[in-house]
Amino acid sequence: MIAETSSQNELKEVYQNIQIKLVDLQQKNFQFEQDNQILRLNLAVQIKEFAEKENTLQTQITLLQEQALLASDLTENLEQNKLINQQIQIQIDHLEQEKIGLQEKIIQTEANNQELKFQQESLIEQKEQLENKISQPQDNYKAIEQGKIKLHNMGRGLSQDHKLKAKLEKEIAQLEQKLIIEDQIKMQLTQVLQIKEDKVNELEQRLVVLDYERIERLKDKEKELSKVIEELVNKLTSGENTKEIHKEKESKQREMVELQQELSKTSAFYYSNKKKQVLNQANNFLKAKDNFLASREEAIKKLQNCCNNLERFTNKERNTIGSISDMKIFKLADKYTKEFQNTLVKYSDGLLQLNKVYDSLVDIVQKNKELEVSLVVENMLKLNSFNLDKYNISKFATNSQEGARTQLNSNMMMEDIDSLRKNLNELKSELKQEKKELKNLAEIRINCIDGSL
């Protein structure tokens, strides 16, 4: 018997040591993950700082190139103009590749976020169930008339539940910290992506300006050549019929043909780049809509969880008779009403960004209103009748408008959720059709470009 007790004590000691090592490893693993997150955040900040410096440097280089362009004569000017165009196009291609890399990083960060949010929701649900379990014996404490052993066992069980609750709270806090860092990483990378996109837009606008200037200079050159050819023809008709004049006239005529071909090609690129600007901005608008609706879908999921929790815990409390239960139901309604309304407020921020992208699209369409593609985009996306209220969360969650009600029940919440879900489905259907039409329009443009080359 003594040997058996000794063996059990040894096993307990081994088990306790293993538990201590496990806790230590878990803590080290968390610290490692946190350090890794901090490194990723620092890297994202550095990427953003580099992008800002690169942006400034590229702008300075382009300005210097344009100043050099103004200082040269017409022939040199045309060559410089062509060279700068090529360099800017190389910069745009490079930035587009960087944008793809950044988008992949943002997608991965968002995937990390979703995984952490899933873990957090699971832990919060466990914690709420545990809190409910812990509160039940306390609510019915006076009704319990059991032996000392059973009370002792119940107390020990409660102690373990409290320890588990503390452990869950710690894990939830750690996950919240991870989520904060992931959000910061995503924010930094998104800002870098925006810097790159703004730079691409700026460079594409410079290409349009340079092409326009090149067209004007080619036209000036065309006038000069026409004048020279006319003078040579006059010389020939006045009797100065020499081989040198004939040779020079033929040379200038060949030069005129080449110049007109270059003028035609440059004009094609000029209008192609203007069309590209309109289509790119239209695509940005649809991307902004897509991001907004993805955020709305996430909001609806959170609102549904909130509603489900309120209904579940309220139903449990209704099975308990007494004033304490009524008080708990009141507190539950208060808690989940605040959570519901806070979620609505949190997910209403995207409206400003969506409106900003819409304004940019309207601006670019107006600047290029002579293009057929601008009219097509304007009608396709119904820009003149675009209504931001269709995206305003508070217009559809009417029961939950802040200040309208102090408390909501689960039925009121479901009414708002159903209204939001119906609105979301309508907007998603509209967006799907717009994407399809814009894709077809872009393909027509590409085919036209291929046919003109």
Quote the tokens at residue 29.
Answer: 């693993």
Least Cα distance to 291 among 378, 345, 357 occurs for 357
Distance between CA atoms of residues 4 and 6, nearest Å: 5
Neighbours of 63 (CB within 10 A): 10
Q: What is the CA radius of gyration of the chain?
A: 35
CA dihedral angle for residue 445, residue 447, residue 448, residue 453, rounded to 10 degrees: 130
Distance between CA atoms of residues 142 and 129, nearest Å: 22
pLDDT value of position 419:
94
pLDDT value of position 131:
56
74-139 and 2-71 helices, crossing angle to 10°? 160
Distance between CA atoms of residues 313 and 118, nearest Å: 21
Query: Which DSSP string corresponds to 315-355?
Result: HHHHTS-SHHHHHHHHHHHHHHHHHHHHHHHHTTTHHHHHH
Q: pTM for this one?
A: 0.67
Whether the CB-CB separation of 189 and 109 falls below 8 Å is answered with yes
Distances (CA, A) of 385 to 381, 390, 427: 9, 11, 15
Distance between CA atoms of residues 280 and 442, nearest Å: 9
pLDDT value of position 142:
42
pLDDT value of position 368:
93
pLDDT value of position 445:
60
pLDDT value of position 61:
54
Low-confidence ranges of the chain (pLDDT < 70): 1-82, 84, 95, 99, 102-103, 106, 109-110, 112-114, 116-162, 164-165, 241, 319-325, 402-405, 445-453
Distances (CA, A) of 340 to 81, 302, 405: 59, 8, 12
